[in-house]
Amino acid sequence: MMRYHPLTILYRIYQFVKNNLIIALLLFVIKRDSDFWLFEYGRYAFLVIVVWRLIYIVWSWFYETYEWEERTFYLKEGIFTKNTSSIPFSKIQNVTRQTTIFHKVFRLTSITFETAMDGVDDAITFEVVSKKHADFLLKLVEVQTTEPDETNLKENQEGTELDGSESDVENPDPKIKQDNESKVVHFTPTKRDLWKASFLSFSYLAFIPLLGGLFDEIQSFLPEEKELDGLLDQFLASKWLILLLVVVGVAIAVAIGVTRTMIRYGKYEISSNNTHIFINRGVLNESYFSIEKQKVQGLEITQSFLKRIVGLAEVKLVSSVNPNSEQSAVDVNSLYPFLPMNQAHELIQQLLPGYHVESGMKRLPRKSLWIKLLRPSWFWLLATGALFYFKPRVFGLESAWWIISVILFVWIYINRILDYVHTQYLVTNDQLQWRRGGLTSRLFITKRQKVIEMSISQSFVQKKFHVASLSTVNRSSPIHVEGIEDVPVEFATSFHNWYLERHDEVQYHHIP
């Protein structure tokens, strides 16, 4: 029987205060004088809730315990309704360790073990824990998950033998697996990567509206001009000011962008050993993430329009990690959002030797382009209908509605043409790989055994063009659905047959 660290109480109070600060400000500062019933009674209700929460946070701590036995965590909680849950270590999909500023102050950390069970409460979170104990828990879980894995490993080896090209070096021997010290660091960003990243992250574009606001502020300090002078004259008169503002604004924006990027992606390390992938990141809020290679369900390489120009890409792991876990400013599934393309491929090969980024993907036939262009865009029709009805004025332009409609139309069709250009597909041995997308393109790679469902669909029009759409489902939370549209029927059929050969890799065991 173990209790959580006492500072958990403080941490929860801190979280509670953080989450409710805005409401408190609204009730007691901004709308202080309002006697609207919602605010009037809201204040009392809020106070009651705060008091109750504080009592509850302290009280419930005494009822929360955890223990482990035989490779299983047993958790107990609840003051009124007792709740017991048991989570076997083998169900743990990945581990996240986060050290926020709060934790730093007390030299503590937090650790979350995420599982892929179907329950609601499927993660074990130690919100506050000493670093030593976190290490201990990590070891406890890691060492012991390795044993039942041997069967998995065999399965993997069998699966990879099909490729032939699998190097023996990468094939882990179950005997040396316990040796977790043999971590290899695969990637740390260089100064140059970081500069590129900060210019790309474009977070400082958010500054532009602020700039506009600032300009409005300053305008009132400008010498009053005759009102009849009109907007343009005023604009020209303060030209120097605009210039100055733009320069200062851009400078501030760049500075903010760079600092943000440095803080988020500055300290970054991707490493792995035979069984796990580890990601360490963050300067202020440190986080550590580990996932078992076996539990990676697929890979995604995403390239936005800008990233394509500079040749960078983001690599994401498809797994059952909860993507919106609290406090994490960075997407947990992402390996690194600004990887040079060739390095991305290398990294994938090193981290997940079972996966290959193959070249020689097939492109869609020309008829697929026609069908993509012919398909009516319901979104555009609806938007144009709405625009026609409301005829909103933008920048004082009366004809704005059809200009917007035309821009939207062009935008949609550029995306469709690009989607045609980008769409490529390839199926090799036990791996499927396809790419699609308009301005942002995505390459998706997964293994046949990791696809838990597939479907083909063919609309009436597609039938005439002799094409079909494919979709696959991978495990994730929620499930990860991938699809590719307007592929030739021959490919769809062969893909289906390929999927029916799943038993080549999959090993079964019988549930009594």
Partner 1 sequence: MNDSVLENKLSPRAQKAWLISEVIGIVIGFIVLAVLFWLDFHFAWPVWIGWILIALTAYTVLDAVWSLIKPKYLYESWRYQVDEEYIQLSYGILKKEWVTVPIAKVQSISTRQGPILRIYQLREIKVETMGSSHAIPALDEQVAIQLKDTLAEYAKLKEVDE
**Which residues lie near partner 1 (CB under 8 A)?**
118, 151-152, 155, 294, 449, 452-460, 463, 468, 473, 475, 478-479, 489, 492-493, 496, 499-500, 502-503, 506-512
The token pair that represents 417 in the structure block: 């043409």
Closest contact distance (angstroms) between CB of 354 and partner 1 is 12
Q: Cα 333 to chain center, whole Å?
A: 5
The token pair that represents 168 in the structure block: 């023996």
Closest contact distance (angstroms) between CB of 416 and partner 1 is 20
Using the minimum distance from each CB to partner 1, give the nearer residue, 175 or 509: 509
Question: How would you classify residue 164: left for phi > 0, otherwise alpha for psi between -120 and 50, otherwise beta?
Answer: left
Using the minimum distance from each CB to partner 1, give the nearer residue, 38 or 461: 461
Q: Nearest-CA neighbor of 268 among 302, 315, 308, 303?
A: 315
**Is residue 61 helix, strand or coil?**
helix
CA dihedral 394, 396, 397, 403 (to 10 degrees): -10
- Alpha-carbon distance 272 to 256, whole Å? 32
Using the minimum distance from each CB to partner 1, give the nearer residue, 123 or 467: 467
Closest contact distance (angstroms) between CB of 155 and partner 1 is 6
Using the minimum distance from each CB to partner 1, give the nearer residue, 390 or 460: 460
For the chain, give the number of residues: 512
Using the minimum distance from each CB to partner 1, give the nearer residue, 15 or 458: 458
Using the minimum distance from each CB to partner 1, give the nearer residue, 132 or 510: 510
The burial of 35, by beta-carbon neighbours within 10 Å (0-12 exposed, 13-18 middle, 19 or more buried), is given as exposed
What separation in angstroms does the CA of 379 have from each of 179, 376, 383, 412, 458?
A: 55, 9, 6, 9, 21
Using the minimum distance from each CB to partner 1, give the nearer residue, 297 or 303: 297
Closest contact distance (angstroms) between CB of 461 and partner 1 is 9
Residue 69 makes CB contacts below 8 A (sequence gap 6+) with none
Residue 293 makes CB contacts below 8 A (sequence gap 6+) with 272, 275, 276, 277, 351, 352, 354
Closest contact distance (angstroms) between CB of 485 and partner 1 is 13
Using the minimum distance from each CB to partner 1, give the nearer residue, 127 or 485: 485
What separation in angstroms does the CA of 286 have from each of 92, 111, 271, 274?
A: 22, 12, 16, 24
Closest contact distance (angstroms) between CB of 187 and partner 1 is 27
> DSSP characters for 325-342?
-TT--S-TTEEEEEEEHH
Closest contact distance (angstroms) between CB of 362 and partner 1 is 19
Using the minimum distance from each CB to partner 1, give the nearer residue, 33 or 118: 118
Is-contact 65 76, C-beta < 8 A?
Answer: yes
- Alpha-carbon distance 101 to 120, whole Å? 28
The burial of 318, by beta-carbon neighbours within 10 Å (0-12 exposed, 13-18 middle, 19 or more buried), is given as buried
Using the minimum distance from each CB to partner 1, give the nearer residue, 119 or 478: 478
Residue 427 makes CB contacts below 8 A (sequence gap 6+) with 433, 494, 495, 498
The token pair that represents 87 in the structure block: 């989570």
Closest contact distance (angstroms) between CB of 320 and partner 1 is 10
CA atoms within 13 Å, Cβ hemisphere of 404: 20
Closest contact distance (angstroms) between CB of 335 and partner 1 is 21
Residue 360 makes CB contacts below 8 A (sequence gap 6+) with 426
Using the minimum distance from each CB to partner 1, give the nearer residue, 12 or 293: 293
The burial of 60, by beta-carbon neighbours within 10 Å (0-12 exposed, 13-18 middle, 19 or more buried), is given as middle
Using the minimum distance from each CB to partner 1, give the nearer residue, 64 or 163: 163
Q: CB under 8 Å, gap of 24 or more: what pairs does 429-432 form?
A: 429/162, 429/163, 430/159, 430/162, 430/163, 430/504, 430/505, 431/355, 431/356, 431/358, 432/472, 432/495, 432/498
Closest contact distance (angstroms) between CB of 476 and partner 1 is 8
Closest contact distance (angstroms) between CB of 325 and partner 1 is 20
Q: To which residue do tokens 């997940």 refer?
A: 352
Closest contact distance (angstroms) between CB of 175 and partner 1 is 20
Using the minimum distance from each CB to partner 1, give the nearer residue, 37 or 508: 508
Closest contact distance (angstroms) between CB of 431 and partner 1 is 16
